[in-house]
Structure 1
């Protein structure tokens, strides 16, 4: 299944549990006027995503497993990619942008000597070369891909062109032209060279990076073509793959109290923001969307910060003259 396919259920999992989840989500989609069923449960679950599933299919399964009212993910992974997929439940969905915007690290293997129309192994080979660069040539070529770069997303991607997804236009045989977009690449290093045809790389980058584009453009820079063969996200913000539950583990623990113990607090997603503290009186004001006095240290006027009360997140907002002006409010248990 194409990495750029619309998010949704796939044929990867035909178990009764998965069919139930799909049916439940369809029912929810057709009952907009009804109150969404499920538990008011909040937090983050780190999933070690398997190959062959869309990110949204994983979200659907996790939401079913927790019987949660609301769920979402932070940063789509291609169906054939594996690794960290951070799933937010309940109030944690309000912190998704902070994980999406954070740095992420990918380990991937590029196949040298071939270019495909999708920039990965799922596509058709469109160009080939017998040229194979040396290790030193590869390392020397990585420099221009580090720092602030401009990157053209793959033609088979979810980028919109005149209101339509690029992958749909590409599948219809239309000539797709996508404008280059800025990307911050913190690091790109070669970690292995299994043989002349393959190179393993590790990239740390910001929001919006396409690993497939890196493999394609590196192959072009080396004059030998290239595409992604395997891709694994090993961490995303504070979440690491070693802490992720596998799909089999999620199925085994579904609808059990033990699964709840794997939830991580929504506050972990706010680690990149300064924390300010508030009183019980301020909690009420903030939860009603009003500015409130907070206790702050090392926070400057105009900084974005998050307010806590007894260790729990209350709101995210802008700090001004001793007050936090909220723009995101978290619904807490009675305090």
Structure 2
């Protein structure tokens, strides 16, 4: 039975769910989920969780992400990317220096209004379902943080390449749209490649063809998702039994924080939090 994490380099034109469906067929495993949706036009890092590892999906979704995005100025579309219908075109009299200067305005914590063409739900309906019917509704802004925003290159008179590291919930196409508004000529996202998600990068990624050829050998262990948390190896039967029963254990003097907990045979058991000398499970990953 397959268990673990696959880092897929998602191909263009596939939905994230398309990738999961394909992997269910390759690995013959029903329990497969992904850690953070990528639009069909986007490529890059898509963490996919297989078998018992699906219990870790929530931790991947909440992490920081990094993207390389194409910004095309002078064009406004209804989807905020080049796959949509063009609503406006404007002449572009913006220099590379102008774009670089505008980026600093978008750094840090901020409120971002999600696009109509998104899976955000309002009143039980996904926004893109309403948008396809020609409807537009008021959307509450979402709190996001843009940690890094860098101009990598100018690839044409109105085309620029950006690198963005950001929090969960950030829409890069909305960032491109807003940058265009700030520059006075409109803008849309022309390409998107995710280069990091949940701590994994393109160096960790495999193609679907790789998985077809190599199968389960490409699975990373579930605990690789928590590589930033220190390891705690249990040394007593009593401690391990309590952890396996979901009970807290007392460890006087242990520093507060989050730990990867392993059994005496070095099996990864759970992610736990230590507070005031007591270790409590956050999520268990051992089998029944």
Per the TM superposition, whether the score is higher than 0.5 is: yes
Kept after mapping to 2: 8 A contact 1:267/1:312:
no
Matches within 5 A, 1:204-215: 204-215=165-176
Kept after mapping to 2: 8 A contact 1:108/1:200:
yes
Matches within 5 A, 1:268-283: 268-279=224-235, 280-283=237-240
Cα root mean square deviation, aligned: 1.8
Aligned partner of residue 123 in structure 1, secondary structure? coil
Cα offset for 1:331?
1.6
Cα offset for 1:233?
0.4
Kept after mapping to 1: 8 A contact 2:110/2:144:
yes
Larger relative contact order (CA 8 Å, sep ≥ 6): 2
Equivalent residue in structure 2 for 1:320, among 259, 275, 281: 275
- Structure 1 residue 306 and structure 2 residue 264: aligned? no
Aligned equivalent of 1:17? none
Count residues in correspondence.
286
Shift in alpha-carbon separation, 1:295–1:314, aligned structure 2, 3 A: farther
Cα offset for 1:223?
0.5
Kept after mapping to 2: 8 A contact 1:276/1:305:
yes
Residues 184-215 of structure 1 show CA distances to partners (whole Å, capped at 9, x for unaligned) of 11101010101112000000111111111110
Kept after mapping to 2: 8 A contact 1:117/1:124:
yes
Superposition TM-score, scaled by structure 2 size: 0.93
Equivalent residue in structure 2 for 1:125, among 63, 70, 86: 86
Aligned partner of residue 273 in structure 2, secondary structure? strand
Q: Distance in 1 between matches of 2:240 and 2:274?
A: 15
Equivalent residue in structure 2 for 1:284, among 225, 232, 241: 241
**Any unmatched runs of 5+ in structure 2?**
none
Shift in alpha-carbon separation, 1:295–1:106, aligned structure 2, 3 A: farther
Kept after mapping to 2: 8 A contact 1:77/1:85:
yes
**Any unmatched runs of 5+ in structure 1?**
1-38
Aligned partner of residue 57 in structure 1, secondary structure? helix
Aligned partner of residue 58 in structure 1, secondary structure? helix
